């Protein structure tokens, strides 16, 4: 179902898209990383919509206790019948069959946000957040879907029932002697989804937050520890400065 979430995205927003050119990425709502309810919602979306084709083989189910879930909640809501809470998040799909069906083996998503950032694609989270909001219907493609951020993407829009169907609005311009289509930043809804656009954006933000968390579950603790260390060093520097002044005050 998904070809390369590892090759994911680029754009939508009110910025301008030139065919063949770049597209601005939307800003992922970073505050969701400290919102346990958002992370839990993202985990549910990941298990229901992504884990059918994409594994997260470096992540164990029970690690989700760090986002406020009990083992019983994980068992009741996030595990498939044959899985155990201490196991990694693997899939049953055969890699060779997946490649035959989709043209490429769907990548493992444990580190997808970090890998996109390492590839120079913004924060990684901005990249993923934009992709899921850039799909549109394209009957010329085998999946019936295309994406402004990743033209000719092999991964279909698995969240389409939530978002509905829409199409980007282009205008024709002549640039360097060639006629090109420019994305105006506007979309036309052709079929309503189960969520409003604001609700859908919020859901995508939750999913991306979980993907970012999964790449580094201790990120929040690392930030807090870093702040604590800097505060300690600041206080220590002041004390050392005053102690030095007191030690040398009577030295001529």
Percentage of the chain lying above the pLDDT 70 cut: 88
Per 3-state DSSP, the chain is made up of helix, strand and coil in percentages (nearest 5) of: 45, 15, 40
Nearest to 183 by CA among 2, 9, 19, 4: 19
pLDDT tops 80 at residue 3: no
Band (120; pLDDT cuts 50, 70, 90): low
Band (119; pLDDT cuts 50, 70, 90): low
Task: Give 79 or 116, the one with higher predicted confidence.
Answer: 79
> How confident is the prediction for the chain on average, in pLDDT?
84
CA angle at residue 99 from 125 to 208, to 5 degrees? 15
Band (18; pLDDT cuts 50, 70, 90): very low
Q: What pLDDT is attached to residue 68?
A: 93
* Token reading at 167: 């199409």
Neighbours of 22 (CB within 10 A): 10
| Tens digits of residue pLDDT in 158-192 | 999 999 999 999 888 888 888 888 888 889 999 99
Task: Give 45 or 92, the one with higher predicted confidence.
Answer: 45
**Least confident range of 69-78, 89-98, 234-243:** 89-98
Residue with tokens 């420019």: 182
Q: What pLDDT is attached to residue 59?
A: 93
Task: Give 229 or 95, the one with higher predicted confidence.
Answer: 229
| Tens digits of residue pLDDT in 41-71 | 999 999 999 998 899 999 999 999 999 999 9
Band (230; pLDDT cuts 50, 70, 90): very high
Mean pLDDT of 192-218: 94
Mean pLDDT of 127-144: 92
**Least confident range of 102-116, 158-172, 204-218:** 102-116
pLDDT tops 80 at residue 138: yes
Mean pLDDT of 71-82: 86
Q: Any long-range contacts for 58-63 (C-beta under 8 Å, 24+ apart)? A: 58/88, 58/108, 58/110, 58/111, 59/88, 59/89, 59/110, 59/214, 60/86, 60/87, 60/88, 60/89, 61/85, 61/86, 61/87, 61/88, 61/89, 62/86, 63/217
pLDDT tops 70 at residue 4: no
pLDDT tops 90 at residue 214: yes
pLDDT tops 50 at residue 240: yes
Are residues 21 and 48 in contact, defined by beta-carbon separation less than 8 angstroms? no
Q: What pLDDT is attached to residue 170?
A: 87
pLDDT tops 90 at residue 105: no
Neighbours of 68 (CB within 10 A): 11
Three-class secondary structure assignment of 47-73: HHHHCCCCCEEEEEHHHHHHHCCCHHH
């Amino acid at each position: 179902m998904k070809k390369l979430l590892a090759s994911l995205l680029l754009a939508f927003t009110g910025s301008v898209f030139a065919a063949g050119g770049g597209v601005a990425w939307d800003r992922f709502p970073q505050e969701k990383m400290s919102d346990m309810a958002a992370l839990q919602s993202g985990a549910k979306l990941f298990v229901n919509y992504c884990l059918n084709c994409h594994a997260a083989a470096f992540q164990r189910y029970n690690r989700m206790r760090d986002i406020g879930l009990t083992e019983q909640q994980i068992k009741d809501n996030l595990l498939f019948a044959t899985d155990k809470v201490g196991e990694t998040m693997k899939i049953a799909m055969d890699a060779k069959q997946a490649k035959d069906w989709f043209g490429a083996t769907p990548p493992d998503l444990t580190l997808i946000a970090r890998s996109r950032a390492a590839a120079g694609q913004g924060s990684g989270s901005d990249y993923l957040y934009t992709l899921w909001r850039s799909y549109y219907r394209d009957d010329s493609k085998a999946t019936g879907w295309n994406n402004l951020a990743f033209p000719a993407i092999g991964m279909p829009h698995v969240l389409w029932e939530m978002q509905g169907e829409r199409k980007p609005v282009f205008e024709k311009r002549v640039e360097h002697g060639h006629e090109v289509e420019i994305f105006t930043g506007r979309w036309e809804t052709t079929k309503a989804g189960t969520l409003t656009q604001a609700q859908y954006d919020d859901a995508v933000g939750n999913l991306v937050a979980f993907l970012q968390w999964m790449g580094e579950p201790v990120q929040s603790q690392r930030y807090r520890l870093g702040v604590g260390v800097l505060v300690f060093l600041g206080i220590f520097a002041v004390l050392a400065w005053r102690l030095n002044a007191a030690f040398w005050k009577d030295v001529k």
